[in-house]
Chain A
Amino acid sequence: MVTGAARGIGRAIAEKMAATGPLTVIGVDLAPELALAEQLTPVQVDLTSSDGPGTVREAVEASGLPLIGLVNNAGITSDSRLVNMTDESFRSVLEVNLGAAYRLSTELALLMSDGGSIVNIASRAYLGNFGQYNYSMSKGGLVGLTRALALSLAPGVRVNAVAPGLISSEMSMGIPEEVRDKMVSSIPLERMGTPDEVANLVWFLLTPLSGYITGEVIVVGGGRSLS
């Protein structure tokens, strides 16, 4: 199960998992253009609605297959400095990035009685990022959620977080070019990351290859946290 699966990092994760088989990947998004690979079942739902998580759970149960992995990837931004941030900008980002992930994890963890792995897509912004009080708080909260669930769902379900830095995606393309260039110049690997590079780590965390890893946050940021 991958949320925010229509584009960017979410799409790369869904396609990576679908190509791995034999398994069925259920991709959740609001967008109608959700990728339709052979092993990818689309579900369109507003995860912030009261019945959103239940609808996703029904989709999993309808598949008749055991749920072995959940990737909470869906996320939005609405940037401004704290002094100018509106109530709506704050609330919408927290609801999508944190509330939906929490409610969906709680709902779907019940279906992982045979074990499983949850991966939360946080962001390097959890370490702080100018103009993103709401986004940074939501991703920091996701880190805390990861740790709490890692403790409460052990030993059956592992829970980890991936914190991407600047990744080439629709979200980062919304950043003005001169700002993006300045950001890239501060990255030791001198480039943006790709959605596939995030998907590779998520795939690893979903598989038994990472069977002794839980409660961790792994940054995919080209070394930006050091520069």
Chain B
Amino acid sequence: MIHWATEVSDDWGDVLAALTHAFEASRAAAQGAESIVYVVHNDDLLGRRGPGKAMLATGLLSAARTAALEGVKDGWTVNVVAFSEGADPETVADWADQLVASSDVTGELIRVGPDHIGRALP
């Protein structure tokens, strides 16, 4: 299951709805032992596009790390792809496809684009 974070506003109800949607899709995937990839905007991991988008992206990253731990025994994986502004959508999608097919890489954050260099590690 590949889940692209939606463009949420700064309204809490909007953020909760997006987090809930990700949770429901992830639970269904996990119940079917299906691997998961979340795709987020790199700027949102650093809070650069406002609190709503930041809470969604960093919430998904942390949830991915926890779900990754839970999937180890059953052989499913959870990873995150974060893309910089202007990144080629096809390249982002390729990374997501590659990760969702992988049984060896889990709990990882892959960045597409250079914007994270020299900035805080999320």
Task: Out of A98, A151, A216, name the residue touching B55 (CB < 8 Å).
Answer: A98
Inter-chain contacts of A85 with B (CB < 8 A): 23, 27
Choose the segment among A4-12, A61-69, A142-150, A175-183 that binds chain B (4+ C-beta atoms closer than 8 Å).
Answer: A142-150
Contacts A94-B16, A147-B54: A130 and B69 contacting too (C-beta < 8 A)?
yes
Inter-chain contacts of B122 with A (CB < 8 A): 143
Choose the segment among A110-118, A132-140, A201-209 that binds chain B (4+ C-beta atoms closer than 8 Å).
Answer: A132-140
Inter-chain contacts of B24 with A (CB < 8 A): 87
Choose the segment among A24-32, A33-41, A121-129 that binds chain B (4+ C-beta atoms closer than 8 Å).
Answer: A121-129
Contacts A128-B107, A149-B47: A83 and B57 contacting too (C-beta < 8 A)?
no
* A136 and B63 within 8 A (CB): yes
**Complex Cα distance A146/B120, Å?**
13
* A95 close to chain B: CB less than 8 A: yes
20 A-B contacts (beta carbon < 8 Å): A82-B26, A82-B67, A85-B23, A87-B24, A94-B20, A99-B15, A128-B64, A129-B69, A130-B66, A133-B67, A136-B62, A141-B15, A141-B19, A141-B62, A144-B45, A147-B58, A148-B47, A148-B51, A148-B53, A215-B120
**Complex Cα distance A85/B67, Å?**
12
Inter-chain contacts of B62 with A (CB < 8 A): 125-128, 136-137, 139-141, 143
A93 nearest CB across to chain B (Å): 11
* B59 close to chain A: CB less than 8 A: yes
Binding site for B on A (CB under 8 A): 81-83, 85, 87, 90-91, 94-95, 98-99, 102-103, 125-134, 136-152, 215-216
Contacts A82-B27, A128-B66: A140 and B59 contacting too (C-beta < 8 A)?
yes
Inter-chain contacts of B45 with A (CB < 8 A): 144
A105 nearest CB across to chain B (Å): 8
